[in-house]
Amino acid sequence: ADKKIGILVGSLRRGSFSKKIAHFFIENAPEGNSMELIEIGHLEHYNQDFDEDGSPASYGPFREKIKSLDGVIFITPEYNRSVPGVLKNALDVASRPYGQSCWDGKPALVVSSSISNVSGFGANHHLRQSLVFLNMPTLQQPEVYIANVQNLFDEEGKLTKDDSATFLKDVLTAYATFLEKH
Ligand code: FNR
């Protein structure tokens, strides 16, 4: 059966390189996988009082969307050696109310990118730490650290670096196989 995969991007920036990777993934989704970008920038800061008082209108549809997915791909930059707050907030929002986490059991893929040589290792592993607690089996290999991400794309945002394109397609194939097993 077709697998429905959601992509969450940890950057709201108009020209985000992480978003460009997301679009490359959508265009190169392996057969039998449909991929869509899931917006997170509109989600209010999570406040535990919402679980008693009622949640902002943005939460319901987001939680339903996450629940409907077979798998989740996270593509994130690194902010101050960790995950950008907007992505952490999205994780928190769909993890609550207590006992009703929408993430539970969903196989994940983590991609970090950076404009430096260091490739977002800190963000990648802080994110993996949360996914352990959220009970999301996460593809271990290949790990995906994209360094100097600004050099991958042309003016139109197309991924033009061949070795990176090949690598990222191999990653998608590995993730599709991983999804089949879960
Ligand atoms: C950064 N950047 C960054 N890069 C990195 O490799 N390690 C880091 O810790 C940080 N920290 C950081 C903090 C903040 C607040 C900003 C705005 C940026 C640089 C980052 O790699 C660069 O801005 C990317 O282009 C962000 O990803 P998008 O928006 O292109 O997807």
Would you list the DSSP string of 8-31?
EES---TT-HHHHHHHHHHHTPPT
Distance 3 CA to ligand 1 centre (A): 31
Domain holding 143, by residue range, is 3-181
pLDDT tens-digit series, residues 117-163:
999 999 999 999 999 999 999 999 999 999 999 999 999 999 999 99
Distance 45 CA to ligand 1 centre (A): 21
Region 22-47 average pLDDT: 97
Whether ligand 1 lies within 6 angstroms of the CB of 141 is answered as no
pLDDT tens-digit series, residues 76-127:
999 999 999 999 999 999 999 999 999 999 999 999 999 999 999 999 999 9
* Ligand 1 atom nearest to 76, measured from its CA: 31
Residue 7 pLDDT > 70, yes or no? yes
Residue type, 128: R
- Strand 144-146 relative to strand 71-77, pairing: unpaired
Task: For residue 6, give the 3-state DSSP assignment.
Answer: strand
- β strands within 58-113, DSSP E: 71-77, 108-113
Is the CB of residue 127 less than 8 Å from the CB of residue 110? Answer: yes
Answer yes or no: is the ipTM higher than 0.90.
Answer: yes
Whether ligand 1 lies within 6 angstroms of the CB of 77 is answered as yes
Cα atoms in the Cβ-side hemisphere of radius 13 Å centred on 39: 7
The residues pairing with 6 across neighbouring beta strands, listed in sequence order, are 36, 72
- The confidence band for 1, taking pLDDT boundaries of 50, 70 and 90, is low
Is the CB of residue 130 less than 8 Å from the CB of residue 72? Answer: no
How many domains are contained in the chain? 1
Distance 119 CA to ligand 1 centre (A): 10
CATH number at residue 109: 3.40.50.360
